[in-house]
Chains A and B, each alone.
Chain A
Amino acid sequence: DVKVTQSSRYLVKRTGEKVFLECVQDMDHENMFWYRQDPGLGLRLIYFSYDVKMKEKGDIPEGYSVSREKKERFSLILESASTNQTSMYLCASSFRGGITGELFFGEGSRLTVL
């Protein structure tokens, strides 16, 4: 089974802190994604990566950056956390050459910014 592991299930941070969310997948997937999910707004794409060191902005990249130094690991960085970044963050992965809508999700990281 594909496993996508997110490093922290729950985090509480203060405004202005730098936050790292890490995601590791074990199925050699080329594509990796970061979404945030908010009530009433659904899943919104922050960034995605289709290869090591490659990244593309999604729909809501402002306030976020990403890093992909190794194929299996995709990190989301909040340089200076703000209260409007309180959300559920979901990492996902997929094969590049496969069915592009077939995503495998991690369990999510619920971030609260005070």
Chain B
Amino acid sequence: QKEVEQNSGPLSVPEGAIASLNCTYSDRGSQSFFWYRQYSGKSPELIMSIYSNGDKEDGRFTAQLNKASQYVSLLIRDSQPSDSATYLCAVPTSGGSYIPTFGRGTSLIVHP
């Protein structure tokens, strides 16, 4: 069973701070990595993808990937209350259908 692990949280940060969300995965053959955001009562939406080691920045969001350590993270700079949501890490498994396996998600609370 290919696994994707996330700390369930909640992670609570003050407005304006950097929120750091982490994800580890077990499949060494995985090549692509995704972060989804899910607001309460809503469906997940894709916010970031990363394929190469290092950092990828998109506005206030930065995804970081370290394949050797099998670790991917999402940094949210200048966190806003509107960032309060559950963040899901998704990793397509290698060696077949490449269906994404989702972590259980980390709940983020940004308080004013």
Contacts and interface: CB of A to CB of B under 8 A. Distances in A.
Interface of A: 33, 35, 40-43, 45, 48, 50, 56, 58, 90, 99-108
Interface in B27-85: 32-34, 42-46, 49
A100 B43 contact: no
Contact of A42 (B46, B49, B103): B103
Nearest to B42: A107
Secondary structure class of chain A's binding surface, majority of residues: loop
The 9 residue pairs across chains A and B that have the minimum distance between CB atoms: A42-B104, A105-B43, A100-B98, A43-B102, A101-B34, A101-B100, A101-B92, A100-B92, A108-B43
A101 B49 contact: yes
B78 to A, nearest CB: 26
Contact of A43 (B44, B45, B91, B92): B44
Q: Which of B49, B88, B97, B103 has the most CB of A within 10 A?
A: B97
Nearest to A94: B100
A101 B33 contact: yes
B34 A42 contact: no
Contacts of B101: 45
Q: Which of A40, A41, A101 has the most CB of B within 10 A?
A: A101
30 contacts: A35-B102, A40-B104, A42-B102, A43-B88, A43-B102, A45-B99, A45-B101, A48-B97, A48-B99, A56-B97, A58-B99, A90-B43, A90-B44, A99-B32, A99-B49, A100-B32, A100-B100, A101-B32, A101-B33, A101-B91, A101-B98, A102-B34, A102-B46, A103-B46, A103-B90, A103-B100, A105-B43, A105-B44, A108-B42, A108-B43
A103 B34 CA distance: 10
